[in-house]
Chain A
């Protein structure tokens, strides 16, 4: 008799032990992993020399055939200042190269911006239409 009750109580006890846990689902938004393209290579700019030419030098360059006295007379007559900024051909090349380098950087940055715009737009579109 006592064995029966023992078995009975064990059965009830063991049934009570075995329970199924309810699964809780949590949905978390995962950030989109966007590949980052390498930035444009650093601009390598060259130094160049600027030469400032004042009235006297300009006049001497423009009128090399004139004498010192004639140049002095012309300077006296000159009402406004003539100032020219000159560069040597080599330095002019450097200016062009620097400008090209700036243009390259701007163009590359622009391409990268367009890249991001395109992929974010396409990813958004594909998420709307997906599955």
Chain B
């Protein structure tokens, strides 16, 4: 009776130890896998953060470049518009009919010079090489 009780306790303890060992081993393996996954995830997330930071930095740089160039473009466009306005004002401020009537040869020379200059400017403007500025 006593012996069979002892045997029962022994078997129970052995079974408990084996179960606990199995559970412990399973938990250790599971936790190792988990740590591995988490470490890999962490690395990937760090990479992703770094990549997104680089992208943001790059976008900021691009915006800065564009803003600077846009400022330059607006200045150039204003100069071009001013030049066009200047010619319009010049013509409206002078009575061409009267000037041609009074000084025909002088005006003829001026007109021809202006035409030549205009053509030269247009040629310069449309020169494909000038697009590489």
Task: Give the interface of A toward B (CB within 8 A).
Answer: 4, 8, 11-12, 15, 19-23, 25, 27, 30, 32-35, 37, 40, 88-90, 92-93, 96-97, 99-101, 103-104, 106-108, 110-115, 117-119, 122-123, 126-127, 130-131
Contacts and interface: CB of A to CB of B under 8 A. Distances in A.
Interface in B17-57: 19, 23, 26-27, 30, 34, 37-38, 40-41, 44-45, 47-48, 51, 54-55, 57
Contacts of A21: 37
B38 A11 contact: no
A130 B84 contact: no
Interface string B66-102: 1101101110110011011001100100001100100
B51 A107 contact: no
B118 interface: yes
A96 B112 CA distance: 12
A12 B76 CA distance: 75
A126 B26 contact: no
Contact of A110 (B26, B59, B63, B131): B131
B13 interface: no
A90 B94 CA distance: 11
Interface residues of B, number: 54
Contacts of A25: 44, 47-48
B58 A104 contact: no
A30 B55 contact: yes
Given A12-B26, A97-B87, 12 more contacts: A15-B26, A15-B30, A93-B91, A96-B91, A103-B118, A103-B122, A106-B126, A107-B125, A108-B77, A108-B80, A111-B76, A131-B57
B26 to A, nearest CB: 7
A113 B47 contact: no
10 contacts: A19-B34, A20-B37, A21-B37, A25-B44, A35-B66, A35-B67, A96-B91, A99-B118, A119-B65, A123-B65
Interface in B99-133: 100, 114, 118, 121-122, 125-126, 130-133
Contacts of B126: 106
